[in-house]
Amino acid sequence: MKDFSFPIFKTKTEGETQTFALDDPVERRKYFDLKARPEIEKLRTYLKKNTFVGFLLGKKNSGKGTYSKLFAEAIGPEYIQHISVGDIVRSVHSDFENDSKRGDLMDFLKKKYRGFVPLEDAIEALLGRSTEGLLPTELILTLVEREISRVGRKAIFIDGFPRNPDQVSHSLYFRHLMGYRDDPDFFVFIDLPETIIDERMRYRVVCPKCQTPRNIKLLRTKEVGYDEKKKEFYLICDNSSCGGERMVPKEGDELGIEAVRERIEIDDVVMRMLMGLEGVPKIFLRNAIPTAVAKEYVDDYEITPAYRYDLDSKSKKVRMIEEPWVVNDEKGNPSYSLLPPPIVVSFIIQTAKILGL
């Protein structure tokens, strides 16, 4: 965030020369064990009898889902559940199309929904049949409560609420959700330069057949081709069933962050408001680290690589060149973007501390 400095978390272990391929699940497990084993063991012991609720707060494409899922991977998926409000709303659409599921859903809503907007009108807004008003916050809260009830005794990370400033100022309902279960709750703030979001979007490509997403600059496939006519490189889908399909940009992605500028600004306002909410512990996750101090805090393999390509004039083969991804942060400082695992190490250690473990 532009006027709030998130602390830099140190994951570098002095004297440790071992490196890990952080895109490999087996290697990641070893990495987490080296970097945060005491905290992982404490959290596992705690979660055998206890739970918590963490609210993930960050701008669009900041990695909320990725970090929570890797957190669960490190601690144990049997202990932790990631709840996406967007996924809940989408699943409710399909529930209403299923006779048996629709009945169960309506029974729950009639028992739990409390709001000034009539339930039927709220449902019409949810299903997109009414354009007269926004989806009521009270209905979103009720749907999240339903999902929490279905999860059972697991720790929960909630992704996507509060979504708007009015949902924060609607403190009676927000506080009700935070106290829905009698266990600790906390905020997880995620900060990253907008330049990172921009390049994640601007260089994103997708396979037309299997819809697998990649990024020509940041997340390449094994094979890269070259279009002689357009004079440009392109990724070839790794999925063998796609038959070497050429991956293509999604419409609108060429605009980068400007395509979601309004959403980004709202997310920023929500984060600022909740930073001022007293009585709730806070975790701060930082994606980028200035290049000038990176050697002191992180190992080289924890830095996000970027890829550029060169065409051999004789063999016509594409040569892939890997180098650290450098972006400017909000203050104009050249910075490295960190891979998700070192950020999750910070996440794990801070969570254990907040819980008093």
How many CB atoms within 10 Å of residue 124?
A: 17
Question: CA-to-CA distance for 108 and 143, rounded, in angstroms?
Answer: 9
For CATH 3.40.50, the residue range(s) in the chain are 25-79+154-354
Question: CA-to-CA distance for 245 and 206, rounded, in angstroms?
Answer: 10
CB 110 within 8 A of CB 119: yes
Question: CA-to-CA distance for 318 and 311, rounded, in angstroms?
Answer: 5
Question: CA-to-CA distance for 91 and 89, rounded, in angstroms?
Answer: 5
Q: What is the mean pLDDT of residues 328-347?
A: 92
Structure tokens at 252: 């609108």
Question: CA-to-CA distance for 17 and 199, rounded, in angstroms?
Answer: 31
18: left (phi over 0), alpha (psi -120 to 50) or beta: beta
Question: CA-to-CA distance for 87 and 100, rounded, in angstroms?
Answer: 20
Q: What is the mean pLDDT of residues 257-264?
A: 87
% of the chain surpassing 70 pLDDT: 90
Question: CA-to-CA distance for 110 and 173, rounded, in angstroms?
Answer: 17
pTM of the model: 0.85
Q: For 166-205, give one letter per residue: b (16+ CB within 10 A) or e.
A: ebbebeebbeebbebbeebbbbbbbbbbbbbbbbbbbbbb
Structure tokens at 164: 């708007």
Query: Which residues have CB under 8 Å from 113's CB, separation 6+?
Result: 119, 122, 138, 139, 142
Q: What is the mean pLDDT of residues 178-196?
A: 80
More confident residue, 3 or 36: 36
Which residue pairs from 316-322 have beta carbons closer than 8 angstroms and sit at least 24 positions apart in sequence? 316/226, 318/224, 318/225, 318/226, 318/233, 320/220, 320/224
pLDDT at 324 exceeding the cut of 50: yes
Highest mean pLDDT among 123-132, 240-249, 251-260: 240-249
pLDDT at 189 exceeding the cut of 80: yes
Domain 25-79+154-354, what fold? Answer: Rossmann fold (3.40.50)
Each residue's pLDDT tens digit, 69-120 = 999 999 999 999 998 888 888 888 778 877 778 888 888 888 888 878 888 8
Each residue's pLDDT tens digit, 285-301 = 999 999 999 999 999 99
Phi and psi (nearest 5°) for 121?
A: -65, -40
Question: CA-to-CA distance for 105 and 280, rounded, in angstroms?
Answer: 31
* Alpha-helical runs (H) found in the chain: 25-47, 64-75, 85-96, 99-112, 119-126, 137-151, 165-169, 171-178, 194-202, 261-275, 294-297, 340-354
Closest CA to 226 of 313, 158, 166: 313
